[in-house]
């Protein structure tokens, strides 16, 4: 339980900063369910969780994340309206990975603009580590842009599929981090930028969808000293959160994709703060997030702690419950 508490506090802080840097009027609530997602899932478990979420009456809105699926959220939805990422058949947004990937793609374009002065990724060598849902869709966007692709995954079938479908070059899962490329896009596990890898990097930019890409904060400083531009993970991978935000307002796939284009401008703000203040980009991202948190906090105080709820869908649900 202690480990779960530490984990959920870390996740909630990260979500608070992600929402703030993305310009979304959301807090940072997170939840952890203790158990093995391969063994302990059940309808009863998720319905019980949904009932508890419902008891909070909108103070916390849950969503699909690591270890859960869109189908799991369907069980939660049976007990509460305060859930996003539900199947499209129920008016939800379904799988968020295409939107996360599109945000990452826009973030890569921002990094290429800042570091290389390029508006297009055509012919740039992009190494994508991890071909799960986000990694696969990212490769699809990069291929359409004309990028030259290097890919790796521990699942050889996924690698073969992407190589055949997108004319990519495969690389060993242990070697892709240090492969020669213009842009390294980590889309698998975290902490890939660490003491063992950082001095072996042969890229100009690190920009991918994985969470917690820096093993430690000092590795962000080291990237800056090496002249490698780092796109902070919680800024570049905010597309999934943007997608569920749109779901709260009444879902539209077109509107969700349009919203994820904002990742470009958000990252440019981070890069400009980094350049102006002479600090690493992950520190600049924190400053951007903290500035908005402080600003919104002052607005809440000015309005006696009350802020308007922008979510008409939830308003309607609440009125029906009364």
Active site (catalytic) residues: 30
| 125 beta partners | 148
Residue 164's alpha-carbon distances to 149, 161, 168, 240, 283, in angstroms, are 12, 5, 7, 27, 40
Q: How many CB atoms lie within 10 A of CB 106?
A: 21
φ and ψ at residue 4, rounded to 5 degrees:
-65, -40
The tokens of 306 are what? Answer: 């009350």
DSSP secondary structure string for all residues of 38-80: TTS--HHHHHHHHHHHHHTTTS--EE--TT--HHHHHHHHTT-
Residue 169: which of 154, 199, 147, 193 has the closest Cα? 147
Q: What is the DSSP letter of 153?
A: -
Give the burial class of 157: count Cβ atoms within 10 A of its Cβ; 0-12 exposed, 13-18 middle, 19 or more buried.
Answer: exposed
């Amino acid at each position: 339980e202690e480990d779960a508490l530490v984990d959920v506090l870390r996740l909630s802080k990260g979500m608070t900063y992600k929402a703030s840097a993305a310009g979304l009027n959301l807090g940072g609530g997170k939840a952890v369910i203790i158990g093995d997602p391969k063994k302990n899932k059940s309808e009863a478990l998720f319905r019980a969780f949904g009932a508890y979420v419902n008891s909070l009456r909108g103070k916390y809105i849950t969503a699909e994340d690591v270890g859960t699926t869109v189908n799991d959220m369907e069980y939660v939805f049976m007990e509460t309206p305060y859930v996003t990422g539900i199947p499209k058949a129920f008016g939800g947004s379904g799988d968020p990975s295409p939107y996360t990937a599109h945000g990452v793609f826009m973030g890569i374009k921002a990094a290429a603009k800042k570091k290389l002065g390029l508006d297009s990724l055509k012919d740039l060598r992009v190494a994508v580590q991890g071909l799960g849902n986000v990694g696969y869709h990212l490769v699809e966007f990069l291929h359409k842009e004309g990028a030259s692709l290097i890919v790796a995954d521990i699942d050889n079938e996924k690698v073969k599929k992407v190589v055949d479908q997108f004319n990519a070059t495969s690389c060993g899962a242990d070697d892709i981090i240090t492969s020669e490329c213009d842009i390294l896009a980590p889309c698998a596990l975290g902490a890939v930028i660490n003491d063992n890898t950082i001095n072996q990097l042969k890229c100009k930019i690190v920009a991918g969808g994985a969470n917690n890409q820096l093993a430690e904060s000092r590795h962000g400083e080291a990237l800056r000293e090496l002249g490698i531009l780092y796109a902070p993970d919680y800024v570049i991978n905010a597309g999934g959160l943007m997608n569920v935000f749109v779901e709260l307002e009444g879902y539209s796939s077109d509107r969700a994709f349009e919203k994820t284009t904002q990742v470009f401008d958000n990252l440019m703000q981070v890069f400009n703060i980094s350049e102006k203040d002479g600090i690493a980009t992950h520190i600049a991202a924190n400053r951007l997030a903290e500035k908005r948190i402080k600003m919104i906090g002052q607005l809440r105080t000015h309005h006696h702690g009350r802020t308007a709820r922008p979510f008409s869908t939830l308003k309607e649900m609440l009125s029906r419950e009364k």
